[in-house]
Structure 1
């Protein structure tokens, strides 16, 4: 186990690179981890948990450096932060807000 190396998804992937990324981190053959996931998928009461773990790892583990997905996330992450800051600025601005006072409810006959 290498403490200065971060765990991330791998370019050597079959589906999303999760198993290969884990195998690269622990310096073992990727087919060992893939085989373990396949065995866990074959056990009836553990299938759902195994799929959930894989999806969570897919969401948590970053994409490999220089890959399309890393650049995609960085690009849209910056745009998302800029849009969030703009929305926050608009929502806190009182010049565009209208305050309605003394509103009465009436039944229409």
Structure 2
């Protein structure tokens, strides 16, 4: 499975959780955030708006609130749960420009 397909699968999972869980939906309803993911050779963007993650594209968005930079290998470990987000951040396996709270907030929905 490609990295793009893996990320799309996680987005679908997150959107399904928000659709099924009213409390979760209410928690993010008012948020509007744009995320860029720089995975060295691959670049992605997505938007969180109206309690839904959408506009997932294999390119950067110009108006990103958060930019996450890492390697495809470390990102894969983050997705699989083999690498914890805070450990990756502390050991500089991942860098974040923007508010880390925005990224950590999104992480709890996956």
Query: Normalized against structure 2, the TM-score is what?
Result: 0.23
Higher relative contact order (CA 8 A, sep 6+): 2
**Structure index of larger Rg:** 1
Between structures 1 and 2, the one with greater helix share: 1
- Considering fraction of residues, name the structure with more strand: 2
